[in-house]
Structure 1
Amino acid sequence: MSHTPPVPIGNQSPYPLQEPPHIKRNTEVPNEIGQAKRSRWSFLPILTASISAAAAISAVAILLAPDRLFQKS
């Protein structure tokens, strides 16, 4: 038997029986846009490292020299 009997309307699955075809999208970025994004975000690691270094230096200075920072006049 190559013919499948019809399914009653109340007994049909709400989910599709076959997966829809996938759409291929172009994921390549043109050179001008890709380089602009790279150059724009290249400063972020440098900025993060400098802020972290400044915070670490400040913390060490406060821990090592509290008498100089909090002198009573």
Structure 2
Amino acid sequence: MPFPICSRLSFLPFEGWVTSFVISFPKILGWETVNFAMKPFYLPGVVPFMLVAILTIFIHRIPGRKVALAWKDTVKD
């Protein structure tokens, strides 16, 4: 997949786009010094997984209501 490679090339504008989205968990278990941050779109393994997850919706013709419920349950837990 060329997109993860393109995000590493400094002369292309992709790096700024993919690094701007950050998921962070501050103060894990109440500890001030235990933090976690991740740039999911900058990780090469995440992009193909997301592409497959989205294509699966169309390939299997899953209704939008079921997709929304499944993603909501996934994010919630």
Higher Rg of the two aligned structures: 1
TM-score over 0.5 for the pair: no
Pick 1 or 2: higher relative contact order, CA cutoff 8 A, min separation 6. Answer: 2
Q: Which has the higher strand share?
A: 2
